Amino acid sequence: MSLIKRFLLIFTLCLSYFANAQKNDYKAYSHYLILSDITSNLDSSIFYIEKAINVAEPFAEDFRQLSFLYFKKGNVKKAKKAFFSAVNAGYQLEKDDKFNDKAFKLDYDSSYLNTADKTKFGMFVQDLWNSRKKAIRKLRDNYLKRNLKTDDEIFEAMLQNENYFQSLRFMFYDNKVNDSVAFPYIAKYGPSPNSYYMLDLLKSDLFPHRRNCARFNGLTITMLLNHGVSGFLNKQDAEEFITILWNLVIRGDLKPREYAAAYDQYVQFFIQPDKNMLGTTRYRDEEGNSRIMDLIDPGHVNEIRKKYWLDSIQNYCEQYNVKLPKNYE
């Protein structure tokens, strides 16, 4: 190979590397999604989501949100295209055919097609499913073919560990076991094996990638992380876990809000049980309103939230119709 050809090859590889590095800028991705959420202009909301999609590999639910916005705008053609992109990125509408062939199988179906959703967009999705079922299933099959077997098996093992814990705990809830001494220890230490399994995976950089797994979604990962954080035997281990976990946000396997929920779980279990840091923990107040629990540092909460790629707590509460913390108002 000539010197010029070698130079051109190296130059091309460098361009490819930097293009990919720039492609997955999840800080910018999160920033554009915030702008999309807080604007009251529909065209601007669409514009910012599309900006996000261009700077990093998108999350399936963000394609779905784009579909909703296009539907709201009346552009059914683009709404369909965006919804198909959501399925291609991992959005799941039914249980996979090969689900029962998995070594570990645990069915979490909350993110499947919601036939009880009678909103206009809900009916649009159901009609799309009924009319284009074959095409949607093909997209799902293509997504599953892109899964990495090792990552998928690890994630399914994590789900199965969660199932062991949940099954044991519900034996007490369902009065199949009546042991007032054992129950609090089961509730506290039941998830501990999974806690340390996930910590080891993070420390060895083997934690599964979201898009390599069939059922790594907002529902399953939030459940795993919240119980995983609470299962650590001491604050030092929990702090190490929550610190390393941020790397999954940077690489695009966790959304900032999913990380924030795990972080506030850590705060409640190991720092201050009646407060939270990032403003993700809710409760029902005396008037029956959904309200954010009191904050550890209300004066700097927005600075702290910004550090973790979150919008202001005022915008968050307004968007989700939640009352601000009492020690912030």
CA–CA dist 177, 184 (Å, integer): 13
Token reading at 87: 């399925």
Statement: residue 11 has pLDDT above 70: no
More confident residue, 20 or 236: 236
What local confidence, expressed as pLDDT, does residue 106 receive? Answer: 54
- Range(s) of the domain holding residue 89: 59-146
Q: What is the mean pLDDT of the chain?
A: 89
124 and 40 fall within a common domain: no
Residue spans of beta strands (DSSP E) within the chain:
282-284, 290-292
Is residue 313, in this structure, part of any structural domain at all?
Answer: no
Q: Which among 86, 117, 146 is the end of a domain?
A: 146
Q: What is the 3-state secondary structure (H, E, C) of 94-117?
A: CCCHHHHHCCCCCCCCCCCCCCCC
Q: How far is CA 302 from CA 56, 70, 236, 277, 308, in A?
A: 25, 31, 26, 10, 10
Q: At 136, which amino acid appears?
A: I
Backbone angles phi and psi of 295, in degrees to 5: -95, 150
255, 237, 238: which is closest to 246 by C-alpha? 255
For residue 282, what are the β-bridge partners?
A: 292
Whether residue 189 is contained in a domain is answered as yes
Q: Tell whether 171 and 267 lie within a shared domain.
A: yes
Residue 289: per-residue pLDDT: 93
Do 199 and 209 fall into the same domain?
Answer: yes
**pLDDT the model gives residue 34:** 97
Specify the length of the chain in residues: 329
CB neighbourhood size of 99 (10 A):
14
Q: Which residues contact 234 (CB under 8 A, 6 or more apart)?
A: none
Identify the bridge partners of residue 295 per DSSP, sorted by sequence position. Answer: 276
What is the model's pTM?
A: 0.88
In this structure, which long-range contacts are made by residues 66-71, counting pairs with CB atoms below 8 Å and at least 24 apart in sequence? 68/121, 69/42, 69/45, 70/46, 71/120, 71/121, 71/124
Q: Which residues sit opposite 276 in a β-bridge?
A: 295
Q: Are residues 169 and 259 in the same domain?
A: yes
Would you state the torsion angle of the CA atoms of residues 70, 72, 75, 79, taken in this order, to the nearest 10 degrees? Answer: 40
Residue 39 scores a pLDDT above 70: yes
Residue 22's H or E segment, with its range, is helix 3-23
Question: In this structure, are 264 and 250 located in the same domain?
Answer: yes
Residue 296: inside a domain:
no
Q: 26: pLDDT confidence band, cut at 50, 70 and 90?
A: very high
Looking at the DSSP bridge assignments, the partners of residue 323 are: 291
CA distance 26 to 252: 6
Task: For residues 223 and 196, state if they share a domain.
Answer: yes
Higher pLDDT, 96 or 280: 280
pLDDT at 246 > cutoff 80: yes
User: Are 229 and 259 within one domain?
Assistant: yes
Q: Which carries the bigger pLDDT value, residue 148 or residue 249?
A: 249
- 113 plus 176 within the same structural domain: no
Give 206: exposed, middle or buried? Use CB within 10 Å, 0-12, 13-18, 19+.
exposed
More confident residue, 174 or 37: 37
- Structural domain ending residue among the three candidates 89, 123, 146: 146
Tell me, yes or no, whether 182 and 235 share the same domain: yes
181, 187, 190, 195 alpha-carbon torsion, rounded to 10°: -140
How many structural domains is the chain composed of?
Answer: 3
Statement to judge: residues 153 and 263 lie in one domain: yes
Within a domain: 264? yes
Q: Domain for residue 279, yes or no?
A: no
Q: Are residues 162 and 123 in the same domain?
A: no
Residues 249 and 208 in one domain: yes
* DSSP letter string, 166-207: HHHHHHHHTTSS--TTHHHHHHHHTTHHHHHHHHHHHHTT-P
Q: What integer pLDDT is reported at residue 77 of this predicted model?
A: 97
Cα–Cα dist 278/313, whole Å:
8
